Structure 1
């Protein structure tokens, strides 16, 4: 009986020790969500290569059928982004600020290259 109580108390204390860490760890990053649209008639552009540079190695995403992309769990900081698609002008964004626990959203309008 005493051994059972000690084991139960140990398990409860162990679980409680990790509870505060999980929510805190989740709030150490932010997210970037975006949409790429055709400049002339705002239709989504699928297949656009989005390169995000900032903290750590560059990250690359490709827009989906709705022109959406996302970068999740980014460390807080300032980032730059480049959007490329064959037949369209390359778009560059600088100074994208990612804050802890926040979602940042951007919309990119791409025109055909001339």
Structure 2
């Protein structure tokens, strides 16, 4: 969970050790029915998609900008941060992805980064 989410949930009150694995991310999205979405003109659908992507990028940038501030607040509250060896973690868990249906991992990765 991003540090902004941990701050909002006041984790620093009960958690004194945080390992920054980055394996759990905050995903935001908008939901509408396919019928309502298709009822929009092609131009309006394109505008909506573009603006939602832009808003998501802005929110991500704001969250990153706040991370140092939040980390300092947590440390002042007695929290210790740990930066793991992510390459070793990825290597140790790589076999999990071998059992996924072909192409699923790539589709997930693409969706998470678009």
Normalising by structure 2, we get a TM-score of: 0.25
Normalized per residue, the structure richer in strand is 1
Larger gyration radius, structure 1 or structure 2 = 1
Structure 1 or 2: more helix by fraction: 2
